[in-house]
Amino acid sequence: MKQTQFLQRQDLQALIDVLIAEGYSCLAPQVRDGAIVYDVLVDVSHLPVGVHDQQLPGKYHLNRSRSLRSFAWANGPQALKPLLFSASEVLWSAERDADGKISFVQAKPVVQKTAVIGVRSCDLAAMRIQDQVFLEQEYQDENYQARRKALFTVAVNCSHPAETCFCASTGDGPTAKSGYDLLLTELDDGFLVTAGSEAGMQIFIQLPLDQASDQQHFVAGEQALHAEQVQTRKLPQAGLVEKLLANLEHPRWQEVAERCLSCGNCTMVCPTCFCHKETEQPQLDGHATEHLREWDSCFTQGHSYIHGTLIREDTEKRYRQWMTHKLATWVQQFGNSGCVGCGRCISWCPAAIDLTEEANVIAGGGKE
Amino acid sequence: MRLDPYTPFEAEVVERIQESPTIFTLRLRFTDAEQHKRYSFAPGQFNMVYLYGVGEVAISIVSDPEDEHLYEHTIREVGRVTRGLAQVQQGQRVGIRGPFGRGWPLQQAEGHDVLIVTGGLGCAPVVSVINYIISRRERFGRLTIMQGVKHSDDLLWRERYKLWSQMPDTHVIIAADQDGQQWPWRVGPVIGMFDELDLKPDKTIAMMCGPEGMMHAAIKRLLEMDVAEEMLFMSMERNMQCAVGHCGHCQYGGKFICKDGPVFSFNEIKDIFGVAGF
């Protein structure tokens, strides 16, 4: 059974110090440009203490209170994804000599042991999904794997879901069940701490921990229940895959396409979207070239280009591709949905399109 | 389990053949002898062909899999990479990685009558299967090759079709919507070729490639003729960049064409086959 102990709030710095002493670069939530994102942290005073978020379709806004809590907010735009699946990286390079001979060199990523503090349950679930894509099929991605092995996660149970969150409906949160190295539950005076892996236990045993009281466990339980109950958005439950695929000609696709800008924001903030394109950057002297991969989006024209034509020439087909993949054909590909209920695609949509609303209408559930 | 599926190997263009004003064939050999020895493919699989400084493109392999000396790609100039590849001359180098994907069901086809249906500008993905069957003739029943083109000038490899038509137990049917000079084959709608077919539905396996509209019409006719759904195979095409199921471009409903295909049986994809946007 997992052991849970209590860390006083004033001892949180010890967690950072131990991680740094163990060779990890610590990334933790911090306010940057009006949003909470992960950045390098050495001093806990830089955590977003008393910072809260308001999220609605097409809206993300931070405000402050006198709360001493550091994690009283829901996820910002950035998931773990960019840390593992780089938004742009060189896959290999090639050189061509005077005789026209080409030599290829595989690029090896520079990998730094990294601990991320404040990972939410939905993002752990998303990481698990990207592991399936990049590590668990016929072909493995070495760069992803190297970074994945070097990643240490300090999860924090979500106590303040945003209005856009629906992880309870997808079963991916708000409480982390597994997949973390360490798990924190933030209470007013400190944190319940649980180790979830060998690496996590190595850190756990070095922390100044006290025995957790029954009262603390009770409050944590109440908090988790509350975080689940306040969520109002839901995906249709039974038969979603079949219902979506049976409604490929639903008039709602056209209606949503009239609002959708086809900007691809939803795919960029989505913690599971894995599409990427390969591009080439030759040097001007012609003797060397780099082959890169960069995030791509099914909302771009080029995504469905094939010898002179586009398979998805309009926004209706692109939105349908995105949603049916995320919620339906993903299940056919990997055995589970591609959506973890983080709600980012709703908050960061400039046209305030709500995935849950669209899915409910198209799959016939109506607005719940 | 293969590591680093992304980095190409260098290959030399041993011969370049201009098939038509916009179609050419590259005969290739890996410059690394070990890699050349290691490399093998099945008909219907494809390689990613890389042009230095420009990029990669997915191209099916047309040669016989048991030709250990060279392998061939027949390429139409249509996009950025293929237009560049058209400039590559004998002796020059390209990059190759592969082979990728699932090819034609040749084992399943043994003992069956094989019907090949292709359309458009020649059909590279089935050339290797035709050659494969012809050089192992005793393992297969009757071979029927149907090819439809818009204009007779579009037909590649006229000599090959002529040669194939003279093989034992082999029937070649070609139709052009419009004919030019000295056209020995049918004229008229491509779908009319099916009227010439006298097939045994329970003994037939069909392999198709070409425009999806053409395959759609062919499947309809073959189903009417009582050929089973799971005996109708087709090679699908979508944008491909990684070829290993990671980049997401070739998703076709719940399938990745690069690794689950490019050859599918009709019953595997019938839910979305013909639905615009997939």
ipTM comes to: 0.93
Do B52 and A94 count as a contact with CB atoms less than 8 A apart? yes
Closest CA to B92 of B138, B48, B50: B50
Cβ–Cβ under 8 Å, residues A256 and A335: no
For residue A91, the distance in angstroms to the closest alpha carbon of chain B comes to 7
Contacts of B123 in chain A (CB under 8 A): none
* Same domain flag for A170 and A259: no
For residue A240, the distance in angstroms to the closest alpha carbon of chain B comes to 15
Whether the link from the prior residue into B43 is cis, omega within 30° of 0, is no
d(CA A244, CA A247): 5
Residue B103 DSSP SS3: coil
For residue B49, the distance in angstroms to the closest alpha carbon of chain A comes to 13
Of the residues A229, A256, A288, the one at which a domain ends: A229
pLDDT of A367 above 50: no
* Same domain flag for A211 and A353: no
* Same domain flag for A220 and A335: no
Residue-wise DSSP of A21-75: HTTPEEEEEEEETTEEEEEE-S-GGGS-TTEEEEEETTEEEEEE-S---S--S--
Do B78 and A307 count as a contact with CB atoms less than 8 A apart? yes
Q: Compare all CA atoms of chain A with the CA of B92 and give the residue at the minimum distance.
A: A100
Do A139 and B245 count as a contact with CB atoms less than 8 A apart? yes
Do B31 and A308 count as a contact with CB atoms less than 8 A apart? no
Which of A:203-262 have CB within 8 Å of B? 245, 248
Cα B235 from chain centroid (whole Å): 7
Name the pLDDT band for A165 (thresholds 50, 70, 90).
Answer: very high
User: Has residue A104 been placed in a domain?
Assistant: no
A37-90 pLDDT, tens digit per residue, is 999 999 999 999 999 999 999 999 999 999 999 999 999 999 999 999 999 999
User: Has residue A291 been placed in a domain?
Assistant: no
Cβ–Cβ under 8 Å, residues A119 and A178: no
A17-31 pLDDT, tens digit per residue, is 999 999 999 999 999
Q: Compare all CA atoms of chain A with the CA of B77 and give the residue at the minimum distance.
A: A307
* Same domain flag for A153 and A262: no
Name the pLDDT band for A9 (thresholds 50, 70, 90).
Answer: very high
Residue B13 DSSP SS3: strand
Counting one residue from A and one from B, how many pairs have CB atoms under 8 Å apart?
130
* Same domain flag for A247 and A120: no
User: Has residue A11 been placed in a domain?
Assistant: yes
What's the confidence (pLDDT) of residue A153? 98
Interchain contact A336–B (C-beta under 8 A): no
* Same domain flag for A272 and A313: yes
For residue B46, the distance in angstroms to the closest alpha carbon of chain A comes to 16
What's the confidence (pLDDT) of residue A368? 40
* Same domain flag for A147 and A184: yes
Domain boundaries, chain B: 9-100, 106-269
pTM, 2 dp: 0.94
pLDDT of A366 above 90: no
Mean per-residue pLDDT over chain B, rounded: 91
User: Has residue A264 been placed in a domain?
Assistant: yes
* Same domain flag for A204 and A143: yes
Closest CA to B56 of B36, B31, B75, B40: B75
Whether the link from the prior residue into B8 is cis, omega within 30° of 0, is no
* Same domain flag for A182 and A256: no
- Total of domains in chain A: 2
Q: Just give the CATH number of B106-269.
A: 3.40.50.80
d(CA A59, CA A65): 20
Do A91 and B251 count as a contact with CB atoms less than 8 A apart? no
A249-287 pLDDT, tens digit per residue, is 999 999 999 999 999 999 999 999 999 999 999 999 889
By residue count, chain A amounts to: 368
Do B55 and A307 count as a contact with CB atoms less than 8 A apart? no
Do B239 and A305 count as a contact with CB atoms less than 8 A apart? yes
Cβ–Cβ under 8 Å, residues B238 and B79: no
The residue assigned the tokens 């060189």 is A90
* Same domain flag for A195 and A55: yes
Which of B:68-127 have CB within 8 Å of A? 76, 78-79, 91-95
Return contacts of B179-185, CB within 8 angstroms, 24+ apart: B179/B151, B179/B152, B180/B151, B180/B152, B180/B153, B183/B152, B185/B152
Cβ–Cβ under 8 Å, residues B137 and B130: no
User: Has residue A114 been placed in a domain?
Assistant: yes
For residue A178, the distance in angstroms to the closest alpha carbon of chain B comes to 25
Cβ–Cβ under 8 Å, residues A28 and A13: no
Interchain contact A285–B (C-beta under 8 A): no
Cβ–Cβ under 8 Å, residues B147 and B123: yes
Cβ–Cβ under 8 Å, residues B225 and B199: yes
Do B10 and A104 count as a contact with CB atoms less than 8 A apart? yes
* Same domain flag for A308 and A220: no
User: Has residue A282 been placed in a domain?
Assistant: no
What's the confidence (pLDDT) of residue B156? 82
* Same domain flag for A199 and A258: no
Class of domain B9-100 as given by CATH: mainly beta
For residue A64, the distance in angstroms to the closest alpha carbon of chain B comes to 40
Residue A16's domain spans which residues?
A: 4-86+110-229
Interchain contact B270–A (C-beta under 8 A): no
Q: Compare all CA atoms of chain B with the CA of A246 and give the residue at the minimum distance.
A: B271
Name the pLDDT band for B122 (thresholds 50, 70, 90).
Answer: low
